[in-house]
Amino acid sequence: AQSVTQLGSHVSVSEGALVLLRCNYSSSVPPYLFWYVQYPNQGLQLLLKYTSAATLVKGINGFEAEFKKSETSFHLTKPSAHMSDAAEYFCAVGGTGFQKLVFGTGTRLLVSP
């Protein structure tokens, strides 16, 4: 079975500050890990993914995430927040063999001027 825990339902940062959104996973098979972003009134957009290649993954909009097997974590970071980053962020875990994606509960990122 697979599961994802996102710590913090809301994260608030100032514009220009570091963004850190936490994700821990549990998986009985080598995981594929994903971060998606959902802007208001829109669907989910893929930010980045880990599929057993490089452990540091770079995505769109300046985001990156590092896969740490020893910590079962896949935290999302961005060095400098922008107002346009305000959105809901979902971490998800999947696996090989067409396993379904399991989503975390989401973290709402608030960016203040």
The dihedrals phi and psi of 53, each to the nearest 5 degrees, come to -95, -125
What secondary structure letter does DSSP report for 52?
S
The dihedrals phi and psi of 51, each to the nearest 5 degrees, come to -135, 45
Nearer to another protein, 51 or 72 (CB): 51
CB of 72 to another protein, least distance (A): 19
Nearer to another protein, 40 or 113 (CB): 40
Nearer to another protein, 15 or 106 (CB): 106
Q: Interface residues with another protein (CB under 8 A)?
A: 32, 34, 36, 41-46, 49, 51, 90, 94, 96, 98, 100-101, 103-106
Contact 35, 18 (CB under 8 A): no
CB of 40 to another protein, least distance (A): 11
Other CB atoms within a 10 A radius of the CB of residue 81 amount to: 22
CB of 16 to another protein, least distance (A): 28
d(CA 18, CA 66) in angstroms, rounded, equals 15
